[in-house]
Structure 1
Amino acid sequence: MVKNKGKGGKSRRRGKNDADPVKRELVFKEEGQEYALVVKMLGNGRVSAKCFDKETRIAQIRGSMRKKVWINVGDIILVSLRDFQDNIADIILKYNPDEARDLKTYGELPEDTKIEDNEAGSDEEDNDIEFDIDEI
């Protein structure tokens, strides 16, 4: 029998969830890149993204981001445009809500952009529903 020499299970592989993530430097778009809003998850590492140049593209999550950076509907992302395919792009970076607000104040994003503050497990819209048992 071979003895287990590993360091543990899933919790070790995933890494620790830091209570206060490190503040990183804000990344602006360059030539051949565009900001986008995730509209729909398509599966197989692809999303439908509404770019801020009024174009809807299918964006591919790059391999180094898979299973490390979770992208959801309503997130602001930075995509790299392809020269040979206009309707397909590659996701380079996901902005957290604070970074997206900073981009909006710098004038990089349009003023009518709605930035959703989707933290893990927050369902604020479900909290305002009230039921009266006597009416039922």
Structure 2
Amino acid sequence: MPKNKGKGGKNNRRGKKEDGENKRELIFKEDGQEYAQVVKMLGNGRLEAKCLDGETRLAQIRGQMRKKVWIVVGDIILLSLRDFQDDRADVIHKYTADEARNLKTYGELKDFTLVENAEAGSEEEEEGIEFEEADIDDICESIC
């Protein structure tokens, strides 16, 4: 019977390594591309992204990335701009947190705040309905 050498399992087949063996090269933007941050997920492979040039665009996640690369609010992505539609774009790459920090140190993401996932949606959630506290005796008196 062969010995188990620890090479099996789902994560190994996917190529995920925690010790840094699977580092990828940093991709910089070219002509017709723009850095952006995800503002809102819309569903059906679409999202709303705030670009570095100040515009908010509706972006489509390309088919090669669907169900393989998970994008959430606050992620830094690379968009391919469309020549015929200025308000629409295509997502071609998602940067990890380390890659986004490296882009910032290289000066690619100037005047662009890196918002963490928890901070991105907290502004809208703060507003809501406030309830007054009532004693149980007051409630029983009004019902009885």
TM-score by length of 2: 0.68
**Contact 1:97–1:117, Cα closer than 8 Å, also in 2:** no
Range moving further from structure 2, 18-27 or 109-118: 109-118
- Higher helix fraction: Structure 1 or Structure 2? 2
Q: Gapped runs of 5+ residues in structure 2?
A: 1-9, 119-144
1:32-58 CA-partner distances (Å, limit 9, x unpaired): 000000000000000000000000000
Q: Gapped runs of 5+ residues in structure 1?
A: 1-10, 119-136
Q: 1:113 to 1:87 in 2, by over 3 A?
A: same
**One-letter amino acid of the counterpart of residue 93, structure 2:** L
**Contact 2:52–2:112, Cα closer than 8 Å, also in 1:** no
| Superposed displacement of residue 114, structure 1 | 1.8
Matches of 2:70 and 2:87 in 1, distance apart?
A: 23
1:67 corresponding residue in structure 2: 67
1:101 corresponding residue in structure 2: 101
**One-letter amino acid of the counterpart of residue 17, structure 2:** D
* Cα root mean square deviation, aligned: 2.1
Runs of 4+ in 1 over 2 A off after TM superposition: 14-21, 115-118
Higher Cα Rg: structure 1 or 2?
A: 2
SS at match of 2:103: helix
Counting matched residue pairs gives 107
**% identical aligned pairs:** 68
2:42 corresponding residue in structure 1: 42
**Contact 1:100–1:115, Cα closer than 8 Å, also in 2:** no
Matches of 1:88 and 1:112 in 2, distance apart?
A: 20
